[in-house]
Chains A and B, each alone.
With several copies, the nearest count.
Chain A
Amino acid sequence: MWKFIHKFGSPPHFYRLSVVLTPWFGWAAAILITAGTLGGLYLAPPDYQQGEGFRIIYVHVPSASMSMFVYVNMALAAAVGLIWRIKLAHAVAAAAAPIGASFTFLALATGSIWAKPMWGTWWVWDARLTSELVLLFLYFGYMALRAAIDDENRADRASALLAIIGLINIPIIKYSVEWWNTLHQPATISKMGKPAMDGDMLTWLLLNIAGFMCFFIAVLLISARAEVIRRARDQKWLKQALGVT
Protein backbone atom coordinates (compact mmCIF):
# COMPACT_ATOMS: atom_id res chain seq x y z
CA MET A 1 0.00 0.00 0.00
CA TRP A 2 2.71 2.41 1.12
CA LYS A 3 4.80 1.62 -1.90
CA PHE A 4 1.88 1.96 -4.22
CA ILE A 5 0.95 5.33 -2.83
CA HIS A 6 4.47 6.59 -3.23
CA LYS A 7 4.87 5.23 -6.70
CA PHE A 8 1.59 6.67 -7.83
CA GLY A 9 2.32 9.81 -5.88
CA SER A 10 5.44 10.63 -7.83
CA PRO A 11 4.64 13.42 -10.27
CA PRO A 12 6.56 12.00 -13.28
CA HIS A 13 4.78 8.69 -12.93
CA PHE A 14 1.44 10.35 -12.63
CA TYR A 15 2.19 12.53 -15.60
CA ARG A 16 2.88 9.54 -17.85
CA LEU A 17 -0.09 7.64 -16.52
CA SER A 18 -2.47 10.52 -17.06
CA VAL A 19 -1.26 11.00 -20.63
CA VAL A 20 -2.10 7.37 -21.32
CA LEU A 21 -5.40 7.18 -19.46
CA THR A 22 -7.04 10.46 -20.40
CA PRO A 23 -8.14 9.48 -23.94
CA TRP A 24 -9.61 6.20 -22.72
CA PHE A 25 -11.80 7.84 -20.16
CA GLY A 26 -12.55 10.71 -22.48
CA TRP A 27 -13.88 8.48 -25.23
CA ALA A 28 -15.72 6.24 -22.82
CA ALA A 29 -17.46 9.29 -21.41
CA ALA A 30 -18.38 10.57 -24.84
CA ILE A 31 -19.86 7.24 -25.90
CA LEU A 32 -21.71 6.50 -22.67
CA ILE A 33 -23.21 9.95 -22.34
CA THR A 34 -24.28 10.03 -25.98
CA ALA A 35 -25.88 6.63 -25.69
CA GLY A 36 -27.52 7.29 -22.37
CA THR A 37 -28.86 10.68 -23.35
CA LEU A 38 -30.13 9.64 -26.77
CA GLY A 39 -31.64 6.53 -25.27
CA GLY A 40 -33.23 8.53 -22.51
CA LEU A 41 -34.62 11.13 -24.86
CA TYR A 42 -35.91 8.88 -27.64
CA LEU A 43 -36.08 5.27 -26.58
CA ALA A 44 -37.28 5.39 -23.01
CA PRO A 45 -41.05 5.45 -22.57
CA PRO A 46 -42.59 8.64 -21.22
CA ASP A 47 -43.47 8.62 -17.54
CA TYR A 48 -47.09 7.81 -16.92
CA GLN A 49 -47.43 10.66 -14.45
CA GLN A 50 -45.01 13.32 -15.65
CA GLY A 51 -45.12 12.81 -19.40
CA GLU A 52 -42.06 14.01 -21.28
CA GLY A 53 -40.90 16.46 -18.63
CA PHE A 54 -39.32 13.72 -16.60
CA ARG A 55 -36.56 13.26 -19.14
CA ILE A 56 -34.45 15.88 -17.39
CA ILE A 57 -33.79 13.08 -14.93
CA TYR A 58 -31.02 11.89 -17.24
CA VAL A 59 -29.00 14.96 -16.38
CA HIS A 60 -30.34 15.70 -12.95
CA VAL A 61 -29.72 12.44 -11.16
CA PRO A 62 -26.21 11.80 -12.53
CA SER A 63 -25.06 15.29 -11.70
CA ALA A 64 -26.66 15.19 -8.25
CA SER A 65 -25.01 11.92 -7.37
CA MET A 66 -21.68 13.02 -8.86
CA SER A 67 -21.79 16.18 -6.75
CA MET A 68 -21.48 14.06 -3.63
CA PHE A 69 -19.22 11.44 -5.12
CA VAL A 70 -16.71 14.08 -6.17
CA TYR A 71 -16.73 15.62 -2.74
CA VAL A 72 -15.95 12.32 -1.07
CA ASN A 73 -13.12 11.72 -3.50
CA MET A 74 -11.77 15.18 -3.00
CA ALA A 75 -11.76 14.71 0.76
CA LEU A 76 -10.06 11.33 0.46
CA ALA A 77 -7.36 12.73 -1.80
CA ALA A 78 -6.89 15.60 0.62
CA ALA A 79 -6.58 13.18 3.53
CA VAL A 80 -3.96 11.13 1.69
CA GLY A 81 -2.04 14.31 0.96
CA LEU A 82 -2.22 15.46 4.54
CA ILE A 83 -1.27 12.19 6.16
CA TRP A 84 1.45 10.98 3.81
CA ARG A 85 2.55 14.44 2.70
CA ILE A 86 2.03 13.65 -0.96
CA LYS A 87 1.78 16.78 -3.05
CA LEU A 88 0.15 15.04 -5.96
CA ALA A 89 -2.82 14.14 -3.79
CA HIS A 90 -3.26 17.79 -2.92
CA ALA A 91 -3.08 18.64 -6.60
CA VAL A 92 -5.81 16.09 -7.30
CA ALA A 93 -8.02 17.48 -4.55
CA ALA A 94 -7.52 21.01 -5.80
CA ALA A 95 -8.42 19.93 -9.30
CA ALA A 96 -11.53 18.09 -8.15
CA ALA A 97 -13.12 21.07 -6.37
CA PRO A 98 -14.22 23.13 -9.37
CA ILE A 99 -15.49 20.02 -11.13
CA GLY A 100 -17.54 19.07 -8.11
CA ALA A 101 -18.86 22.58 -7.79
CA SER A 102 -19.95 22.47 -11.41
CA PHE A 103 -21.82 19.20 -10.92
CA THR A 104 -23.49 20.65 -7.86
CA PHE A 105 -24.49 23.71 -9.76
CA LEU A 106 -25.82 21.57 -12.57
CA ALA A 107 -27.87 19.49 -10.13
CA LEU A 108 -29.33 22.65 -8.64
CA ALA A 109 -30.07 24.15 -12.01
CA THR A 110 -31.71 21.05 -13.50
CA GLY A 111 -33.58 20.48 -10.24
CA SER A 112 -34.93 24.03 -10.36
CA ILE A 113 -35.98 23.63 -13.94
CA TRP A 114 -37.71 20.41 -13.10
CA ALA A 115 -39.30 21.88 -9.99
CA LYS A 116 -41.09 24.61 -11.92
CA PRO A 117 -43.50 22.28 -13.73
CA MET A 118 -43.62 19.72 -10.90
CA TRP A 119 -44.03 21.85 -7.79
CA GLY A 120 -44.98 25.11 -9.43
CA THR A 121 -41.99 27.07 -8.14
CA TRP A 122 -38.30 27.31 -8.91
CA TRP A 123 -37.30 26.82 -5.34
CA VAL A 124 -38.63 25.47 -2.08
CA TRP A 125 -36.89 25.32 1.25
CA ASP A 126 -36.77 21.60 1.39
CA ALA A 127 -34.13 19.63 3.25
CA ARG A 128 -32.55 17.97 0.24
CA LEU A 129 -32.55 21.08 -1.87
CA THR A 130 -31.11 23.16 0.91
CA SER A 131 -28.45 20.66 1.73
CA GLU A 132 -27.43 20.49 -1.90
CA LEU A 133 -27.11 24.26 -1.80
CA VAL A 134 -24.99 23.90 1.31
CA LEU A 135 -22.79 21.46 -0.56
CA LEU A 136 -22.22 24.16 -3.12
CA PHE A 137 -21.19 26.49 -0.28
CA LEU A 138 -18.80 23.83 0.96
CA TYR A 139 -17.11 23.69 -2.40
CA PHE A 140 -16.99 27.48 -2.50
CA GLY A 141 -15.50 27.57 0.97
CA TYR A 142 -12.83 25.10 -0.03
CA MET A 143 -11.92 27.07 -3.12
CA ALA A 144 -12.03 30.39 -1.31
CA LEU A 145 -9.73 29.13 1.41
CA ARG A 146 -7.24 27.88 -1.15
CA ALA A 147 -7.36 31.18 -2.96
CA ALA A 148 -6.89 33.10 0.25
CA ILE A 149 -3.55 31.53 1.18
CA ASP A 150 -0.66 32.51 -1.02
CA ASP A 151 1.80 29.94 0.19
CA GLU A 152 1.07 26.75 -1.74
CA ASN A 153 2.19 24.39 0.97
CA ARG A 154 0.00 25.99 3.58
CA ALA A 155 -2.91 26.30 1.19
CA ASP A 156 -2.70 22.56 0.51
CA ARG A 157 -2.70 21.56 4.13
CA ALA A 158 -5.31 24.03 5.33
CA SER A 159 -7.79 23.28 2.60
CA ALA A 160 -7.26 19.54 3.04
CA LEU A 161 -8.25 19.86 6.65
CA LEU A 162 -11.34 21.78 5.67
CA ALA A 163 -12.35 19.18 3.09
CA ILE A 164 -12.12 16.45 5.70
CA ILE A 165 -14.15 18.38 8.24
CA GLY A 166 -16.76 19.03 5.59
CA LEU A 167 -17.26 15.30 5.01
CA ILE A 168 -19.68 15.26 7.91
CA ASN A 169 -22.25 16.97 5.70
CA ILE A 170 -22.33 14.28 3.05
CA PRO A 171 -24.42 11.74 4.93
CA ILE A 172 -26.77 14.51 5.90
CA ILE A 173 -27.32 15.44 2.29
CA LYS A 174 -27.65 11.82 1.27
CA TYR A 175 -30.15 10.81 3.92
CA SER A 176 -32.00 14.06 4.39
CA VAL A 177 -34.86 12.70 2.35
CA GLU A 178 -35.32 9.82 4.73
CA TRP A 179 -34.85 11.81 7.91
CA TRP A 180 -37.26 14.52 7.02
CA ASN A 181 -40.41 14.19 5.06
CA THR A 182 -39.88 16.39 2.12
CA LEU A 183 -41.25 17.16 -1.27
CA HIS A 184 -38.28 15.66 -2.99
CA GLN A 185 -38.21 12.18 -4.46
CA PRO A 186 -36.96 9.48 -2.10
CA ALA A 187 -34.49 6.89 -3.37
CA THR A 188 -36.02 5.20 -6.37
CA ILE A 189 -33.07 3.60 -8.09
CA SER A 190 -31.34 1.85 -5.31
CA LYS A 191 -34.37 0.35 -3.62
CA MET A 192 -33.87 -3.33 -2.99
CA GLY A 193 -36.56 -5.76 -3.91
CA LYS A 194 -38.92 -4.12 -6.28
CA PRO A 195 -37.29 -1.40 -8.32
CA ALA A 196 -39.51 1.65 -8.28
CA MET A 197 -38.39 2.62 -11.71
CA ASP A 198 -39.08 1.15 -15.06
CA GLY A 199 -36.29 -1.12 -16.32
CA ASP A 200 -35.86 0.72 -19.59
CA MET A 201 -35.62 4.09 -17.94
CA LEU A 202 -33.14 2.70 -15.50
CA THR A 203 -30.76 1.32 -18.12
CA TRP A 204 -30.31 4.65 -19.84
CA LEU A 205 -29.97 6.40 -16.52
CA LEU A 206 -27.24 4.00 -15.40
CA LEU A 207 -25.43 4.50 -18.70
CA ASN A 208 -25.48 8.22 -18.13
CA ILE A 209 -24.24 7.88 -14.57
CA ALA A 210 -21.32 5.76 -15.80
CA GLY A 211 -20.67 8.32 -18.51
CA PHE A 212 -20.63 11.19 -16.02
CA MET A 213 -18.19 9.20 -13.93
CA CYS A 214 -15.81 8.69 -16.84
CA PHE A 215 -16.18 12.33 -17.73
CA PHE A 216 -15.22 13.29 -14.20
CA ILE A 217 -12.15 11.06 -14.25
CA ALA A 218 -11.01 12.40 -17.60
CA VAL A 219 -11.41 16.04 -16.56
CA LEU A 220 -9.76 15.30 -13.24
CA LEU A 221 -6.77 13.72 -14.97
CA ILE A 222 -6.40 16.70 -17.25
CA SER A 223 -6.66 19.35 -14.60
CA ALA A 224 -4.52 17.45 -12.12
CA ARG A 225 -1.93 17.17 -14.85
CA ALA A 226 -2.12 20.90 -15.41
CA GLU A 227 -1.67 21.38 -11.68
CA VAL A 228 1.35 19.05 -11.68
CA ILE A 229 2.89 20.91 -14.59
CA ARG A 230 2.38 24.23 -12.84
CA ARG A 231 3.99 23.00 -9.66
CA ALA A 232 6.92 21.31 -11.39
CA ARG A 233 7.48 24.03 -13.92
CA ASP A 234 11.23 24.15 -13.56
CA GLN A 235 12.00 20.52 -12.98
CA LYS A 236 14.05 18.41 -15.29
CA TRP A 237 11.73 15.48 -15.80
CA LEU A 238 8.97 17.78 -16.97
CA LYS A 239 11.17 19.46 -19.52
CA GLN A 240 12.16 16.07 -20.83
CA ALA A 241 8.58 14.87 -20.94
CA LEU A 242 7.45 17.96 -22.78
CA GLY A 243 10.43 17.86 -25.10
CA VAL A 244 11.59 21.38 -24.28
CA THR A 245 15.18 21.95 -23.29
Chain B
Amino acid sequence: MEVPGLGQAFALQVGRDMRLAFRHLGQLANPLMFFIMVTTLFPLALNPSPQLLEAIAPGVVWVAALLASLLASESLFRQDVDDGTMEQLALSPQPLALMLLAKTAAHWLMTGLPLVLISPIVAYGLFLPQEAVPVTMGALALATPILSLIGGMMAALTVGLRRGGGLLSLLILPIAMPVLIFGARATDLAMTGMESVGAIYLLAALLLLAMSLSPFAMAAAMRISLD
Protein backbone atom coordinates (compact mmCIF):
# COMPACT_ATOMS: atom_id res chain seq x y z
CA MET B 1 0.00 0.00 0.00
CA GLU B 2 1.49 3.36 -0.92
CA VAL B 3 1.38 5.76 1.95
CA PRO B 4 0.81 9.37 0.79
CA GLY B 5 3.92 11.54 0.45
CA LEU B 6 5.31 13.86 3.06
CA GLY B 7 4.22 17.04 1.34
CA GLN B 8 0.66 15.87 1.17
CA ALA B 9 0.60 14.82 4.79
CA PHE B 10 2.00 18.20 5.78
CA ALA B 11 -0.65 20.05 3.79
CA LEU B 12 -3.41 17.90 5.27
CA GLN B 13 -2.35 18.66 8.81
CA VAL B 14 -2.03 22.38 8.19
CA GLY B 15 -5.43 22.37 6.52
CA ARG B 16 -7.10 20.58 9.37
CA ASP B 17 -5.66 22.86 12.02
CA MET B 18 -6.60 25.98 10.10
CA ARG B 19 -10.12 24.71 9.70
CA LEU B 20 -10.38 24.01 13.40
CA ALA B 21 -9.13 27.49 14.22
CA PHE B 22 -11.57 29.15 11.88
CA ARG B 23 -14.42 27.27 13.49
CA HIS B 24 -13.55 29.17 16.64
CA LEU B 25 -13.22 32.64 15.32
CA GLY B 26 -12.44 34.05 18.70
CA GLN B 27 -9.43 31.84 19.20
CA LEU B 28 -7.91 33.14 16.04
CA ALA B 29 -8.31 36.76 17.00
CA ASN B 30 -6.92 36.39 20.48
CA PRO B 31 -3.16 36.50 20.01
CA LEU B 32 -3.56 39.38 17.64
CA MET B 33 -5.85 41.28 19.96
CA PHE B 34 -3.39 40.61 22.67
CA PHE B 35 -0.51 42.01 20.67
CA ILE B 36 -2.45 45.15 19.84
CA MET B 37 -3.46 45.55 23.44
CA VAL B 38 0.03 45.29 24.78
CA THR B 39 1.33 47.81 22.36
CA THR B 40 -1.51 50.24 22.95
CA LEU B 41 -1.36 49.79 26.68
CA PHE B 42 2.14 51.01 26.94
CA PRO B 43 1.46 54.49 25.76
CA LEU B 44 -1.56 54.51 28.03
CA ALA B 45 0.29 53.26 31.05
CA LEU B 46 3.10 55.70 30.51
CA ASN B 47 3.30 59.35 30.02
CA PRO B 48 3.12 59.21 26.23
CA SER B 49 5.84 61.53 25.08
CA PRO B 50 7.00 60.65 21.57
CA GLN B 51 10.66 60.55 22.58
CA LEU B 52 10.04 58.06 25.35
CA LEU B 53 7.83 55.91 23.17
CA GLU B 54 10.38 55.91 20.44
CA ALA B 55 13.05 54.82 22.86
CA ILE B 56 11.07 51.88 24.09
CA ALA B 57 9.39 50.95 20.83
CA PRO B 58 11.73 48.10 19.89
CA GLY B 59 11.51 46.59 23.34
CA VAL B 60 7.75 46.75 23.40
CA VAL B 61 7.26 45.28 19.95
CA TRP B 62 9.63 42.44 20.66
CA VAL B 63 8.46 41.57 24.12
CA ALA B 64 4.87 41.67 22.91
CA ALA B 65 5.74 39.30 20.07
CA LEU B 66 7.45 36.90 22.41
CA LEU B 67 4.61 36.92 24.88
CA ALA B 68 1.93 36.60 22.23
CA SER B 69 3.49 33.46 20.88
CA LEU B 70 4.22 32.14 24.34
CA LEU B 71 0.59 32.68 25.23
CA ALA B 72 -0.62 30.65 22.29
CA SER B 73 1.88 27.81 22.47
CA GLU B 74 0.30 26.66 25.70
CA SER B 75 -2.61 25.21 23.79
CA LEU B 76 -0.64 24.02 20.78
CA PHE B 77 -0.89 20.29 21.46
CA ARG B 78 -2.94 20.17 24.64
CA GLN B 79 -6.33 19.45 23.13
CA ASP B 80 -5.01 16.88 20.70
CA VAL B 81 -3.43 14.99 23.55
CA ASP B 82 -6.52 15.24 25.73
CA ASP B 83 -8.97 14.05 23.11
CA GLY B 84 -6.72 11.28 21.87
CA THR B 85 -6.17 12.53 18.34
CA MET B 86 -2.46 12.91 19.07
CA GLU B 87 -2.33 9.21 19.84
CA GLN B 88 -3.77 8.46 16.42
CA LEU B 89 -1.26 10.82 14.85
CA ALA B 90 1.58 8.99 16.58
CA LEU B 91 0.17 5.75 15.18
CA SER B 92 -0.19 7.01 11.62
CA PRO B 93 2.40 5.91 9.08
CA GLN B 94 3.54 9.50 8.65
CA PRO B 95 6.60 10.67 10.61
CA LEU B 96 5.49 12.33 13.82
CA ALA B 97 8.20 14.98 13.43
CA LEU B 98 6.66 16.09 10.16
CA MET B 99 3.15 16.21 11.54
CA LEU B 100 4.18 18.25 14.56
CA LEU B 101 6.12 20.60 12.32
CA ALA B 102 2.94 21.01 10.29
CA LYS B 103 0.96 21.77 13.41
CA THR B 104 3.53 24.36 14.41
CA ALA B 105 3.39 25.86 10.94
CA ALA B 106 -0.38 26.18 11.18
CA HIS B 107 0.05 27.75 14.57
CA TRP B 108 2.48 30.27 13.17
CA LEU B 109 0.18 31.11 10.29
CA MET B 110 -2.51 31.97 12.80
CA THR B 111 -0.50 33.73 15.49
CA GLY B 112 2.87 34.77 14.10
CA LEU B 113 1.99 35.90 10.63
CA PRO B 114 -0.82 38.29 11.61
CA LEU B 115 1.58 39.79 14.07
CA VAL B 116 4.17 40.42 11.36
CA LEU B 117 1.52 41.94 9.16
CA ILE B 118 0.17 44.40 11.68
CA SER B 119 3.56 45.39 13.04
CA PRO B 120 3.81 48.49 10.81
CA ILE B 121 0.63 49.88 12.32
CA VAL B 122 1.84 49.22 15.81
CA ALA B 123 5.20 50.72 14.97
CA TYR B 124 3.47 53.81 13.75
CA GLY B 125 1.55 54.07 17.00
CA LEU B 126 4.78 53.91 18.96
CA PHE B 127 6.49 56.54 16.79
CA LEU B 128 9.06 54.08 15.58
CA PRO B 129 11.06 55.86 12.83
CA GLN B 130 9.88 54.93 9.35
CA GLU B 131 13.24 53.60 8.28
CA ALA B 132 13.20 50.96 11.01
CA VAL B 133 9.87 49.50 9.93
CA PRO B 134 10.98 47.24 7.06
CA VAL B 135 13.84 45.83 9.10
CA THR B 136 11.54 45.20 12.04
CA MET B 137 9.04 43.42 9.82
CA GLY B 138 11.75 41.27 8.31
CA ALA B 139 13.20 40.45 11.68
CA LEU B 140 9.76 39.58 13.03
CA ALA B 141 9.09 37.40 10.01
CA LEU B 142 12.22 35.43 10.85
CA ALA B 143 11.85 35.47 14.59
CA THR B 144 8.20 34.54 15.06
CA PRO B 145 8.58 31.10 13.44
CA ILE B 146 11.56 30.44 15.70
CA LEU B 147 9.47 31.38 18.68
CA SER B 148 6.68 29.09 17.50
CA LEU B 149 9.15 26.24 17.12
CA ILE B 150 10.60 26.81 20.57
CA GLY B 151 7.09 26.98 21.98
CA GLY B 152 6.27 23.76 20.19
CA MET B 153 9.23 21.89 21.64
CA MET B 154 8.48 22.98 25.16
CA ALA B 155 4.76 22.41 24.76
CA ALA B 156 5.49 18.86 23.62
CA LEU B 157 7.62 18.31 26.70
CA THR B 158 5.04 19.59 29.15
CA VAL B 159 1.82 18.46 27.51
CA GLY B 160 1.71 15.27 29.54
CA LEU B 161 1.58 17.35 32.70
CA ARG B 162 -1.90 18.56 33.13
CA ARG B 163 -1.06 21.90 34.62
CA GLY B 164 2.13 22.45 32.73
CA GLY B 165 1.17 25.99 31.79
CA GLY B 166 3.38 27.93 34.11
CA LEU B 167 6.24 25.54 33.75
CA LEU B 168 6.06 26.20 30.05
CA SER B 169 7.01 29.84 30.38
CA LEU B 170 9.92 28.93 32.59
CA LEU B 171 11.16 26.54 29.93
CA ILE B 172 10.54 28.74 26.91
CA LEU B 173 11.93 32.05 28.00
CA PRO B 174 15.59 31.11 28.50
CA ILE B 175 15.74 29.49 25.09
CA ALA B 176 13.83 32.29 23.44
CA MET B 177 16.05 34.96 24.91
CA PRO B 178 18.67 35.01 22.13
CA VAL B 179 15.96 35.49 19.55
CA LEU B 180 14.63 38.41 21.46
CA ILE B 181 18.04 39.96 21.85
CA PHE B 182 18.96 39.68 18.19
CA GLY B 183 15.54 40.87 17.06
CA ALA B 184 15.53 43.91 19.28
CA ARG B 185 19.08 44.61 18.20
CA ALA B 186 18.08 44.63 14.55
CA THR B 187 15.35 47.16 15.22
CA ASP B 188 17.65 49.20 17.35
CA LEU B 189 20.39 49.35 14.74
CA ALA B 190 17.94 50.28 12.03
CA MET B 191 16.54 53.07 14.18
CA THR B 192 19.92 54.64 14.57
CA GLY B 193 20.51 54.28 10.84
CA MET B 194 23.13 51.56 11.18
CA GLU B 195 23.58 48.39 9.20
CA SER B 196 21.36 45.73 10.70
CA VAL B 197 22.02 43.00 8.21
CA GLY B 198 24.22 41.08 10.64
CA ALA B 199 21.45 40.59 13.16
CA ILE B 200 19.08 39.57 10.38
CA TYR B 201 21.52 36.97 9.12
CA LEU B 202 21.89 35.64 12.61
CA LEU B 203 18.14 35.32 12.93
CA ALA B 204 17.97 33.54 9.61
CA ALA B 205 20.66 31.12 10.74
CA LEU B 206 18.78 30.49 13.97
CA LEU B 207 15.61 29.84 12.02
CA LEU B 208 17.33 27.28 9.83
CA LEU B 209 18.79 25.62 12.88
CA ALA B 210 15.42 25.55 14.62
CA MET B 211 13.63 24.22 11.57
CA SER B 212 16.05 21.40 11.06
CA LEU B 213 16.40 20.26 14.67
CA SER B 214 13.22 21.11 16.51
CA PRO B 215 10.86 18.73 14.66
CA PHE B 216 12.87 15.79 15.92
CA ALA B 217 13.02 17.20 19.41
CA MET B 218 9.26 17.79 19.30
CA ALA B 219 8.57 14.26 18.14
CA ALA B 220 10.85 12.75 20.76
CA ALA B 221 9.26 14.88 23.45
CA MET B 222 5.77 13.98 22.32
CA ARG B 223 6.51 10.28 22.34
CA ILE B 224 7.73 10.61 25.90
CA SER B 225 4.61 12.54 26.86
CA LEU B 226 2.33 9.93 25.30
CA ASP B 227 4.13 7.02 26.97
Contacts and interface: CB of A to CB of B under 8 A. Distances in A.
Assess A/B contact in the complex (Cβ within 8 A). Answer: yes
Contacts of A84: none
Interface stretch (A60-68, A85-93, A121-129, A228-236): A121-129
Interface stretch (B8-16, B137-145, B159-167): B159-167
Contacts of B181: 127
Interface in B211-227: 217, 220-221, 224-225, 227
A147 interface: yes
A140 B26 CA distance: 8
Given A154-B160, A154-B224, A165-B175, A144 B44 contact: no
Nearest to B178: A172
Given A133-B40, A168-B178, 13 more contacts: A134-B174, A140-B29, A141-B171, A143-B26, A147-B25, A148-B24, A148-B161, A154-B160, A158-B224, A161-B221, A164-B217, A165-B175, A169-B177
A74 B174 CA distance: 17
A145 interface: yes
Contacts of A147: 24-26
B157 interface: yes
Interface string A131-167: 1011101101101110111010110011001101110
A126 B53 CA distance: 13
A166 B24 contact: no
B114 to A, nearest CB: 15
A110 interface: no
A223 interface: no
Contact of A148 (B27, B33, B174, B175): B27
Interface of A: 123-127, 130-131, 133-135, 137-138, 140-141, 143-145, 147-149, 151, 153-154, 157-158, 161-162, 164-166, 168-169, 172
B171 A162 contact: yes
Contacts of B157: 145, 158, 161-162
B170 A141 contact: yes
**Interface range on chain B (Cβ under 8 Å from partner):** 20 to 34
11 contacts: A125-B53, A130-B44, A137-B174, A144-B170, A148-B164, A149-B160, A154-B160, A158-B157, A161-B217, A161-B221, A168-B178
B120 interface: no
A147 B37 CA distance: 21
A35 B43 CA distance: 40
Interface string B84-122: 000000000000000000000000000000000000000
A137 B170 contact: yes
A126 B47 CA distance: 10
A2 to B, nearest CB: 22
B177 A134 contact: yes
Nearest to A153: B227
Given A125-B48, A154-B160, A154-B227, A161 B177 contact: no
Interface string B45-64: 00010000100000000000
Contacts of B38: none
B129 interface: no
A158 B170 contact: no
Given A161-B224, A172-B178, A124 B48 contact: yes
Contacts of B227: 151, 153-154
Given A123-B125, A158-B225, A148 B177 contact: no
B81 interface: no
